[in-house]
Structure 1
Amino acid sequence: MTTTVAEPIAAAPAVPVLARKLRAPITLGAVGLLSLLFLGFGTSSGEETTFAVARSTDFFQISTWTVPSQPTAILLSVVALALSGVAFWLAWNRRTIPWYLYVGFGFAVITALLTWAGAGKEGTSMQITGLLIGSVFLATPLVFGSLAGTLCERSGIINIAIEGQLLAGAFLAAVVTGYVSNASGSRELGAYAGLIAAPLAGALVGAALSLFAVRYWVDQIVVGVVLNVLVIGVTNFLFGTLLRENTELNQAIGLPRLPIPLLHQIPIIGPVLFNSNALVYLMYVIVIVLHIMLFKSRWGLRVRAVGEHPRAADTVGIKVNRTRVRNTILGGAIAGLGGAFFTVANGLAFGKEMTGGKGFIALAAMILGRWSPKGALAAALLFGFADSLREQFGIVGTAIPSQFLAMLPYLATIFAVAGLVGHARPPAAEGKPYKK
């Protein structure tokens, strides 16, 4: 008689349980509650708010509309709280919170804020189109800076020197603009020459960063900070000597607007997207090209491989350090181009430290955008909107002190990065020198 021994049944592989990520929904709930308390119940009853979107050049005119301030602010705040509840339910059940829920929440809170700010302002309306135009324009240097950071960090180089690259680009753009304008007698030609020259200054700072980070293996964060201080010192010195003695080299010359025929007359969208100068149009093109190149091309695959696993990239013949050097210089050039915003795009003369910390906000936009060109664009537009909101509040007049209005873009940066980003994973080899 043969005895058969049953073989043990292999245990089914355990299904990983995703952790509950509650930081974002809790943050949304707190903001929604503050909106209800301070914007909803903080608005006096009986007051009204007027919104306007029409421009004189539009194909057709959209009339202004007036809403009761307190009921509208309360309703919008309740909607925001409801959306935060949906976000909490999704996170509790370990589901992904869709991006459009964040957009809807932001729309509800921002509209409630605008309703509160414009309450009881007779003869004054909240200019929605102007607010959006300012958002795109003020986001321009942040987009260029965050794109520079994305290019560098995707290849493994931490670029803290974006602030210095923006400032260097602004300085060289101003000097070249003044020189060419005087030599040629054409202010427009001078402005375009300054726009072309700005990336050269940023690329020079990027080359210095790559030299110390790749060749000498110096800590990349330390090098970035040192380069920022160096550029500030050099530009301040040249401002006090070269530009003070040769005032013709530092003139307030700006790029002309280039409205796209017919498209710029579309209500709301036209003035925002199709009635800008060359730098803003370049921003659109560079974002699209870089996103396609990074995620849809062989070059982008190699760059991302260098930033994630340089040893593996080296084994298949990719030149790791050469790729990092080229990306860092290219990123510096893009940031330098963004520096032209502060002078030729704005029609301003160069001033000491005129970038005002925008390079560090660009770093936050890069992180919030998850090291992606289109994500960086969206994050930069968020911060640009906060800056434009500050300007509009200053025009209509609010109960918020001017000092707090000046803090608004930076508070938005802290809130977005600390409250919404969560555990963003940077490229694995970021900041690590590659030693053969």
Structure 2
Amino acid sequence: MSTTVTVPSGSGASPAAGPAPQPQREIVRHWATPITFAVLTVISLLVFALGASGESATFRISTEADAVQIPDIVAPTVPVGWIITLLLAALTVWGLLSVRRRGTVPGWGSAAFAVLFVAGFLVWVVGAANTTTVFLTGLIAGAFVLAVPLIFGSMAGVLSERAGVVNIAIEGQLLAGAFTAAVTGSVTGSVWAGLLAAVVAGALVSALLAVFSIRYLVNQVIVGVVLNVLVAGLTSFLFSTLLSSDSSRFNSPPHFESIRIPVLADIPVIGPILFDQTVLGYGMYLIVAALYVGLFRTRWGLRVRAVGEHPKAADTVGINVLRTRYVNVLLAGAIAGMGGAFFTLVNSSSFSKEMTAGQGFIALAAVIFGRWNPIGAFFAALLFGFATNMQFVLAILGTPVPSQFMAMLPYLVTILVVAGLVGRSRGPAAAGTPYVKE
């Protein structure tokens, strides 16, 4: 929902010639974000404040084995519910004023609103469950684990779309990586061979996307959807005919072991997250940092962004537009393949049909919410990972929330974020547009 208003951009008056016509500029006001703020604030008032159980929610931060001991956080549900509701109401008013003044809500405002709402929901639901203690550090660490494939997928989306190619095929790249990692790892007995096979499989799916969308100018969204269906059908067929018949030989891959860094891993909260990870976990942090530096601090990144914004101008100054797009799409597929390998080489003991469960599309939502920035996409993927982990943890606690709602929580968060919290978000101007060299 948006409105457009025309306002004067300056006085333009001349003492000698008299008043001159004032130039006009248009402000497109996007109301979806403040409206979403208002709806969620009303929900907070009814549920978190008026519907509070009156009990206290206790969150444990550290364990006895940690190097630094932090006392438990005890949050009374009624005061916390009212405080969070008032803060959300203040952000809603600020969002309305911001849209009236500048047309949109800054990204940090949406992020702050999301964090406050999640905190209010967590306090309310834990207090209503009347449990003794929730290990908050474990909840956050579990969110990081579940967000690993989302982060790899979102990095693939950022890398591809920054070059002007919409990567709808992330789901297929993840699934192909998971399948080939399981089969190759099982046959060879090598976890590294499985990872390499996943990288190659993701790149092959991307090669098809690149050839059809860049060389033959087929609609990029259609090609991506077709590739997702193709990979899902092919892996399901091979699972039924090959893996199920001899799972011990073809579907029992080895696993990456966690590499725990002594002392640092004992630091509360950040220790298990940063210093007790598998190779893929550490590689995830390196890829996010490398992509951010590469895209915004190097000549290569400047060329990639130029191709994604204005390919004709980039071609004019000597940048090979088609080659840049080919290379970026292939690299994106390789990164997504690594995310697929996480499913079978870290998170699960075997491959199963459609085990990615739509996470490629959630990764695309993280790209949009993160505004095509590797750091922003990283934190957006963490939000979706946290929602997924909350689904499992809160179901165990026996909360008053229906199990059906808990099952759809990650996807509901995705819809709310993309439809309401993201505000005005402009991707690369040439994304989805084929380039024909004249």
Q: What is the TM-score when the length of structure 1 is the normalising length?
A: 0.91
Q: Identical aligned pairs, as a percentage? A: 50
Aligned to 1:34: 43
1:143 to partner: Cα distance: 1.1
Answer yes or no: is the 8 Å Cα contact 1:114–1:126 preserved in 2.
no
Is it true that 1:125 corresponds to 2:126 in the alignment?
no
Amino acid at match of 1:138: L
In the alignment, structure 1 segments of 5+ residues that lack a partner are 1-5, 182-189
Matches within 5 A, 1:63-82: 63-82=71-90
Partner in structure 2 of residue 226 of structure 1:
226
Distance change >3 Å, CA 12–CA 262, structure 1 → 2: farther
- CA distance 1:105–1:433, change in 2 (3 Å): closer
The residue that corresponds to 2:10 in the other structure is none
Matches within 5 A, 1:144-223: 144-181=152-189, 190-223=190-223
Q: d(CA) in 2 for partners of 1:123 and 1:210?
A: 52
Report what 1:3 is aligned to. Answer: none
Q: Is the 8 A contact 2:185 2:253 kept in 1?
A: no
Deviation of 1:274 after TM superposition, in Å, equals 1.6
Alpha-carbon distance in 1 for matches of 2:168, 2:106: 31
Letter of the 1:31 partner, please give it: L
Distance 1:403 1:226 in 2: 30
Preserved contact between residue 252 and residue 347 of structure 1 (Cα < 8 Å): no
For residues 170 and 71 of structure 2, the distance between their equivalents in structure 1, rounded to whole angstroms, comes to 43
Q: What residue is the counterpart of 1:107 in the other structure?
A: 115
Q: Structure 1 residue 265: deviation in Å? A: 1.1
Matched letter for residue 194 of structure 2: G
Following TM superposition, by how much is the alpha carbon of 1:7 offset from its aligned partner in structure 2, in angstroms?
A: 6.6
Question: 1:406 aligns to what?
Answer: 407
- The reply to whether residue 14 of structure 1 matches residue 23 of structure 2 is yes
Deviates more, 1:200-209 or 1:54-63: 54-63
* AA of the residue aligned to 2:368: I
Amino acid at match of 1:261: P
Aligned partners of 1:255 and 1:347 also within 8 Å: no
* Amino acid aligned to 2:302: L
Conservation of the 8 A alpha-carbon contact between 1:163 and 1:358: yes
Q: For each residue in 1:144-195, what CA deviation from the matched residue of structure 2 results, as whole angstroms up to 9, or x when unmatched?
A: 11111111111111111110000000011111211222xxxxxxxx223322
Hey, what's the Cα distance between the residues in 2 that align with 1:110 and 1:414? 15
* TM-superposition CA deviations, 1:185-217 (whole Å, max 9, x none): xxxxx2233223211100000011111111211
- Quick one: structure 1 residues 276 and 429, their matched pair in 2 at CA, closer, same or farther if it must change by over 3 Å? same
Q: Tell me how far 1:17 sits from its aligned partner.
A: 5.9
User: Cα distance 1:21–1:227, how it changes in 2: closer, same or farther (>3 A)?
Assistant: closer
Superposition CA RMSD, Å = 2.1
Aligned pairs for 1:274-285 within 5 A = 274-285=275-286
User: Aligned partners of 2:305 and 2:165: how far apart in 1?
Assistant: 12
Residue correspondence of structure 1 range 373-392 to structure 2 within 5 A: 373-392=374-393
Q: Shift of residue 220 of structure 1? A: 1.3
> Residue 235 of structure 1 aligns with which residue?
235
Q: Which runs of structure 2 are paired with 1:394-433 in the superposition (5 Å)?
A: 394-433=395-434
Q: For residue 404 of structure 1, report the CA deviation from its aligned partner.
A: 0.9
Worse-superposed segment, 321-330 or 111-120:
111-120
In the TM superposition, what is the alpha-carbon distance from 1:15 to its structure 2 partner?
6.4
Which residue identity lines up with residue 223 of structure 1 in the other structure? V
Q: Residues 399, 122 of structure 1: CA spacing in aligned structure 2 closer, same or farther, 3 A cutoff? A: closer
Provide the C-alpha distance between the structure 1 equivalents of 2:236 and 2:29, rounded to a whole number of angstroms. Answer: 50
Q: Paired residue for 1:43?
A: 52
| Aligned-partner Cα distance in 2 for 1:120–1:330 | 47
Tell me: CA distance 1:223–1:65, structure 2 relative to 1, closer, same or farther (3 Å).
closer
Q: Distance in 1 between matches of 2:289 and 2:21?
A: 45
**2:408 aligned counterpart, secondary structure:** helix
Change over 3 Å in CA distance of 1:68–1:156 after alignment to 2: closer
- TM-score, normalised to structure 2's length? 0.91
Does the CA-based 8 Å contact 1:21-1:92 persist in structure 2? no
Point out where structure 2 has 5 or more consecutive residues left out of the alignment: 1-14
Q: Residues 67, 433 of structure 1: CA spacing in aligned structure 2 closer, same or farther, 3 A cutoff? A: closer
Q: Helix, strand or coil for the counterpart of 1:163?
A: helix
Is 2:297 the counterpart of 1:296?
yes
1:24 to 33, 36, 40: 33
Q: 1:147 to 1:221 in 2, by over 3 A?
A: same
Alignment of 1:294-373 (within 5 A): 294-373=295-374
Match of 2:143 in 1: 135
Q: Which residue of structure 1 aligns with residue 260 of structure 2? A: 259
Distance of 2:260 and 2:427 partners within structure 1: 39
Query: Is the Cα contact below 8 Å between 1:53 and 1:128 reproduced in 2?
Result: yes
Matching residue of 1:186: none
The whole-number CA distance in structure 1 between the counterparts of 2:112 and 2:431 is 34
Distance (Å, rounded) in 1 between the aligned partners of 2:188 and 2:212: 34
Tell me the residue number matched to 1:187. none
